[in-house]
Amino acid sequence: MIAYVVRRIAQSILVLVGISVIVFAALHLTTDPAAAMLRGGTPTKADILALRRHLGLDQPLPVQFAIFIADAVRGNFGTSYYYNNPAFSLVMDHLPATLELTVAGMAVSLLIAFPLGILSAVRRNSWLDFFGRIFALLGISFPNFWLGIMLILIFAVRLNWVPPSGYGGIQYLILPAVTLGMILAGISTRLIRSSVLDVLAADYVRTARAKGLPSLQVITRHVVRNALLPVVTYIGLQFGTLLGGAVIVEQVFSWPGVGQLALGAVNQGDFPLVQASVLVLATILILVNLLVDLSYVFIDPRIRY
């Protein structure tokens, strides 16, 4: 097991290097940040070249990449061209907001999906199942920005229960978390339901029932654990979707997260900030995936590493 973890970490480092190469290439081959920075004035080509020199962009690409990697391993992702502050600390400053939103969204989605999914499967074809399925289907049929705006119109403008957007206290977190979580609640409900149904059909469940175990015990002791595997997989995937998809929710709700930071950085051609955002987010996702994979061992003892 330890060997597995070590191997995974080594592989993860390779993954991160791979990502940084791709991002580096994509940025340097498509955008000229100097031109973007000077837009608004009357830049001559000479002015732009001069700025490129100051930013270190005139050196050959492999040299630039080497410098970037050498700095990055020491935690230095360079200075943001626009904020003129270290890119890494900018990202870390915004990370709590994104994590707050992601975790809250996941909590909302699981709080809805787990009970609904399990009950839906267990009480198959009842009212509850029907509502659960309609809810799940509706949840994945709405674009999240539309849902977000709808929620603002209803709960903030019409009912005045919460402020429309912003960051600071829990009243600002409710609508964005629900928006983020609602879509995933839909997906999760369906997956939990189908996974539980699969398990319910299994022989050992019939055996348990035949033995006379009450339904609740059947569910908790046998069904849930076995149904968990694809669900845990999906939770791991969800985190990635949440993290990336939060960009849109952040925009609708003026939420100062890394997604907004990164989006702005890509649009402006702020290379250090783009690289810092992508790599920080990637590291988090890799860690989550690693945890998900490790948790397989506890859920399904037949799986060995």
Please report how close the Cβ of residue 21 comes to another protein at its closest, in angstroms: 11
Q: Applying CB under 8 A, does 165 fall inside the site for another protein?
A: yes
For another protein, give the closer residue by CB, 62 or 301: 301
Residue span 174-193 as binding mask against another protein, x where in contact by CB under 8 A, dash where not: -------------x--xx--
The residues in 131-150 that bind another protein, with binding defined as CB under 8 A, are 133-134, 137-138, 140-146, 149-150
For another protein, give the closer residue by CB, 99 or 229: 229
Q: Applying CB under 8 A, does 44 fall inside the site for another protein?
A: yes
For another protein, give the closer residue by CB, 75 or 244: 244
CB 239 within 8 A of CB 151: no
**Per CB under 8 A, which region of 57-65, 66-74, 106-114, 211-219 contacts another protein?**
211-219
Report the C-alpha gap between 210 and 128 in whole angstroms.
Answer: 25
Question: Within 13 Å, how many C-alpha atoms sit on residue 303's CB side?
Answer: 10
Which pairs count as long-range contacts for 209-215, CB under 8 Å and 24+ apart, including other chains?
215/122
Please report how close the Cβ of residue 53 comes to another protein at its closest, in angstroms: 9
What are residue 60's phi and psi, to 5 degrees?
-60, 150
Contact pick of 92, 247, 294, 297 for another protein (by CB under 8 A) = 247
CB 229 within 8 A of CB 295: no
The alpha helices in the chain, defined as continuous H runs, are: 2-30, 33-38, 45-55, 61-72, 87-122, 127-139, 144-151, 170-200, 203-210, 215-217, 224-252, 258-268, 271-299
CA–CA–CA angle 200, 141, 249 (5° rounding): 110
Of 289, 268, 302, the C-alpha closest to 27 is 268
Contact pick of 52, 100, 209, 295 for another protein (by CB under 8 A) = 209
Q: Applying CB under 8 A, does 82 fall inside the site for another protein?
A: yes
Contact pick of 3, 73, 74, 158 for another protein (by CB under 8 A) = 158
The residues in 280-299 that bind another protein, with binding defined as CB under 8 A, are 281-283, 285-286, 289, 296
Looking at the DSSP assignment, which residues form a beta bridge with residue 79? 86
CB 175 within 8 A of CB 154: no
Q: Applying CB under 8 A, does 102 fall inside the site for another protein?
A: no
For another protein, give the closer residue by CB, 69 or 134: 134
Contact pick of 166, 174, 294, 297 for another protein (by CB under 8 A) = 166
Contact pick of 101, 106, 178, 243 for another protein (by CB under 8 A) = 243
